[in-house]
Structure 1
Amino acid sequence: MVDEAVPRVRRRRSVRWRFTSLYAGLFLASGVVMLAVVTAFAGGTVDVAPGPGGGSAIEGAPAAALERIASLEHQLASARSQQTRQLLLGSAVGLVVMGGLSLLLGWYAAGRVLRPLRAMTTATRRISADNLHERLAVDGPHDELRDLGDTIDGLLARLEGSFAAQRRFVADASHELRTPLATLRAAVDVTLAKPGPLPERTAVLAGRVRAGLDQIDTLLDGLLTLARAQHELPDPEAVPLGRLAADALAARGLPAARTLDDGAPEARVRGNRTLLRRLVENLVDNAVVHNEPDGWVSVRVHADASAVELVVENGGKVLTDDQTAVLTRPFRRGGPGRTGGNGSGLGLAIVAAVTEAHDGRLDLHPREGGGLRVVVTLPRTPAPAGEPA
């Protein structure tokens, strides 16, 4: 049974077909007009002559001559009628044949006209946030299509500048804020390290300030990682994703014995080891922090000939599709009921950015019994020579 909530996909009409129909329709219309004109002129030349014995009497003419004249007039009229019918029939057949040819010629002509537009569409689809430096560079005569290509190139240039400025601002601001944070942290540590007893209120306040500084430092580190993942992919290498998952689980005291499928520990993806480790750690931390008391966490790695799949699941409260759809946006925590007020809201945003930088796919699915299922699929790459595949 078809779900009524799923919108029906309307069948798209091709511009090329519309141009072809227009060309053929105009040709057929002009052909019909021409055939009507031919019919009008040809019909005006037909004179119906009387048959034998029906000719008008010519004074003094022999009867045999009159009969012969009438017979010749009738034969001439019949020949003209036959010629007119053949002309109209030939014109109709020619119109039908040329109508079919007009479809083929219109299809070809429309394809030639739309070829630059198709090239621009393909190039525009290929350009994303990671390769905004590319341009359409439409050549040819200075017509409307070239103006459109130049306009799109100008838009891409402005987008490239905007994206670069945004990333530079995030990276520079995060880097510059580390210095005053380090100064504040040092001041708090010096205060706590002074000899002699401190007032209880001072110690509590210093502890809260130190915790806040640590949280800000974590946030800045997340912003730097996010900007780095969105900007470039430094030092790519063949990284075993299964080993990163096992290390992340071991570092958090979680059992890793049943997290990996056969052959998955050595399944490698090509990318930056630091960013991929951050991806795995963020997913594991997200599953641990955003959980229910005494909950469970499952981490599995599947591998086939072309891809490596990392699946992280956890228990928790029931999430809706709308809540899940916005979890990869920066600073979206899914509500305090889900997060408990912890975290910076950048964990899954960093996961999404790192996955996109590695040409992968990220899927988030709410579990029916509560919790979240996250699937990261990355292209598999062969292991370096001398190491197991």
Structure 2
Amino acid sequence: MTFRFTARARLTILYTGLVLVAGLVLTGLTYLFMRHRLGQRSVRVDLRGPDGTAVTAPRPEDLLPDLDRLQDETLHELLIQALIALAVVTALAALLGWLVAGRVLRPIRAISTTAQRLSAENLSERVPVNEPRDELAALAATVNGMLDRIQAGVASQKLFTANAAHELRTPLTTMRTAIDVTLDGEPGRDELIAMAEDVRTAIGKSQRTLDGLLALAHSQAATGRRHLVDLSDLVAVSDESNLRPAPVVGDPVLLEMMVANLVDNALRHNESESEIEVESGVEGGEGFLRISNGGHMIDPGETKRLLEPFVRGDGGRTGGEGVGLGLAIVHAIVLAHRGRIRLDPRDAGGLCVTVRFPLPDAGRAVPSR
């Protein structure tokens, strides 16, 4: 079995090792400097008698053995004392390193503990962000932000799945009812034809819903190659006086799908006597496309819901021919291209949808073909 040290143990060992190495280097240098200095010292002996007269001094060569022995004993005692002090300091460094490492790693343990308690049903817990605002506090804040996005994504996915199941269940129920009613007895040719038409209509709605779901998933992934695209070239209208170049770098297929969904949504909910207004260009350092139509009055507080899947222009559930994915697909494509979308109800009724994208960097865009 392989034994692995914890992060706290590794930090303690690293800290203790650094202190030990630094202590050994300091002890070694001190020993060498002291030995060098003692080797350079000279001893001058001046012996005088009680009456102050000089007496014969011993020869220097007779004193050298005693001096060398004294020097060696002094250096040896110095080395022993230094090593004892180093052992004490190293032990204290290990203890302090263990305590400091635990203190430093406490926020990381809090992140790990919180992550272990999280699940798909419980995403509400957050990592505590303590003072001071250092790198670990920034890490905790980043993790909390990630958890916020995950929670929002899971909630959106659950809502989307529930809506998708409802929208697909409706045509299936219609087909099942049409078949059961028709076969409850002895259907004639007309009844069979009517049943077949009901089934074909329900199948068509299911097909449009599935196509919309696939388009939404594709637009959220946005994996296509980026090219330079002019949004004004993607709009086919009779009056082009308000269309000016609006360059965008992105996936041409997705951007064309976005414009098509905007135009289709405007036509589908437009009143017969109202005109659809289309405008494009550059303003505020961004390329934009704006499409407005007439229609019933829309509550400004309900505009955000229009970007949700399977919601009609009146804020209710989808019905009729539409599947309620047009603006949801547009929203996903805009986000995939780092853009912004804004929905503004018109005073006379209807909706004005504006999408904005960052202008392409010079020399980095690849022309679309």
Query: TM-score by structure 2 length?
Result: 0.49
